[in-house]
A and B are shown apart, each in its own frame.
Chain A
Amino acid sequence: LSNKAVLVVDDDQLVRETLIDVIELVCDCEIFQAVDGEDGYQQAKKLLAEDRKLLIITDVNMPKMSGFGLVQLLLEDAKKANIIIMSGYIENKEKVKEQFPDITFMSKPIDLKQCTGIIESLYNA
């Protein structure tokens, strides 16, 4: 079982699956997917409990719990996950800057070179 894990959280199935296809190309890691913030939080908790080196790529606007809610919970739990927030809503860029200044934000369509660059530097170094 690989220690490296990536969790893709997005309510749009096609966005999730195509992004996973991309990640698989650049990283030898186990990839998980979640359909909303709540699902994402449960899976992230479990993966972190297993002491995995985790990268979470999450959308913002999702049913049940938003990406912001998910990030907030993870920060409160002091869970050590690497996080990228992505969103198609233009105004979310400002919100992330204000609420989570230390977390990387990418506007959809995300720059895949930058994204895969982050994954590679995190796991292939």
Chain B
Amino acid sequence: MGVIERNYYRYIYSIGSIIYALWGVASNALISPNEPIYERAITAIFPLSFALLSPMIHDRYSTKVNSVLSQVVSITILFHYCTLVSRSADWGDSALIAYTFGYLVFIFFTGFVAHTLLEIALWCLSTLVATIYLTPLIDFISPYIFIFFVATMVISTTTLSTYTQKLQKKIRLQQDEAIKNSNLVAIGKMSSILSHEVNNNLQIINSLLFFLGKKQLLDENKISRIRNSNRKVSNLLYTVYTLANDRIKNIQQLNVSKRINDLVDIYKTRINELGISISIFIPKEVEWTFSQDDFSQAFLNILKNAIDAADKTENKEIIISYKEQESTEILSIENSGSFLDKNIISKMYDPFFTTKEIQNATGIGLTLAKKMIERNHSFLYYEDGNIGPRFVIEYSKGDNFEQ
């Protein structure tokens, strides 16, 4: 952490850049035209490049790129200063004074902004040592430094532009996510209050229905129709609430095979009654890091749809299978029903969309299933299977919840 507040970086570096630029122009003017080209380049381009580069670097000061670049810049400028000292006899005192001034400006800005006082002291000490020991070797070293410098500039500029693009994309995604989340929080709160108000009134209606039924003032058929409507209203609110309150619970190492067998057992009676044959092909050892609640709810919703679809066909078959791929694991739930057409596929995850008879469906099963699977960093999608429509849960290997 620097001595100066991070908010001031931008201003300090702007001033620093101007001084660096002046330093570059001034030092180039002082060099004899007979000097080798790389030495002229070093003296002139160094400060000018820093002038351009340092604000770019320090706008992204918290990254690894910045830290590496800062070190490179520091080392290069140290050699730069040693070059100057070794040439001071040829160039004269005015060049030495101009260089030393520029060098001090560099230390001041870079040191105070990006480093602690201890680091600045170490920097000054290393300058002293380098000046004494490196200066006699500078004729030998300086061509390599030039190459090193040019390479660094090329690499850093490329890295920075790629990094900047990535960063901008990341920021845009985060902004989108933030907007989405704030909307969700508002909807979440509203749906909570709304569900309380509506459920209270549904409670009153249900109590009255119960009373009327017991007193035989209303026939059971009518009562059950009203009660069904009530249930649907309550379910709709529950859906809105669940969609808006994106909280994940009960994450654990889930034995997929065991869980699926347990869940299929819930519908075993119905499956047998309808004469549907169900086959499960999942290795016993398969384990996923998943919210048990989400997995169960999502799987049951998909299974319910598969049962309804299979029931309408002659073969009446459901196949649940597992496949391991390189980086993902695939769980397929396939039934012998007819393939879904594009119109339905594009809308089937929309809330309240249903192809079933209105009386039996709420149109929220797949909406919730998709939501629950996705918040466990997995995917739910449809594809045409071997015997009919197939819903696929694609799980990414590894610990998806590691931060």
- Chain A contacts to B: CB under 8 angstroms: 12, 14-15, 18-19, 21-22, 25, 61, 86-91, 94, 107-110, 112, 116
Contact = CB atoms under 8 A, between A and B. Distances in A.
Among B192, B197, B230, the one with the most A-chain Cβ atoms within 10 Å of its Cβ is B192
6 closest cross-chain pairs (CB), A and B: A88-B199, A18-B207, A88-B196, A109-B202, A108-B199, A109-B203
Nearest to A25: B214
A110 B227 CA distance: 12
Contacts of B202: 108-109
B238 A22 contact: no
Given A109-B199, A116-B210, 17 more contacts: A12-B200, A15-B200, A15-B204, A15-B207, A18-B203, A18-B207, A19-B203, A21-B208, A25-B210, A61-B196, A89-B196, A90-B195, A94-B249, A108-B200, A109-B234, A112-B207, A112-B210
B241 interface: yes
A21 B207 contact: yes
**Chain B contact residues: helix, strand, loop or mixed:** helix
Contacts of A25: 210-211, 214-215
Contact of A18 (B192, B211, B238, B249): B211
**Chain A contact residues: helix, strand, loop or mixed:** mixed
B214 A15 contact: no
Contacts of B245: 91
B200 A22 contact: no
B155 interface: no
A104 to B, nearest CB: 16
Contacts, number: 64
22 contacts: A12-B204, A18-B203, A19-B203, A21-B208, A21-B211, A22-B211, A25-B210, A25-B211, A25-B215, A88-B197, A88-B198, A89-B196, A90-B192, A90-B238, A108-B200, A109-B203, A109-B205, A109-B230, A110-B206, A112-B207, A112-B210, A116-B210
Nearest to B193: A89
Contacts of B208: 18, 21
A89 B211 contact: no
A15 B203 contact: yes
A13 B178 CA distance: 41
A14 B204 contact: yes
A108 B203 contact: yes
A14 B215 CA distance: 19
A94 B203 CA distance: 20
Contact of A19 (B207, B238, B241, B249): B207
A22 B195 contact: no
A18 B199 contact: no
Nearest to B241: A90
A91 B191 CA distance: 11
Contacts of B234: 107, 109
A86 B205 CA distance: 16
A25 B211 CA distance: 8
A91 to B, nearest CB: 6
Contact of A89 (B192, B204, B214, B215): B192
Contacts of A90: 192, 195, 237-238, 241
A1 to B, nearest CB: 25
Among B211, B237, B245, the one with the most A-chain Cβ atoms within 10 Å of its Cβ is B211
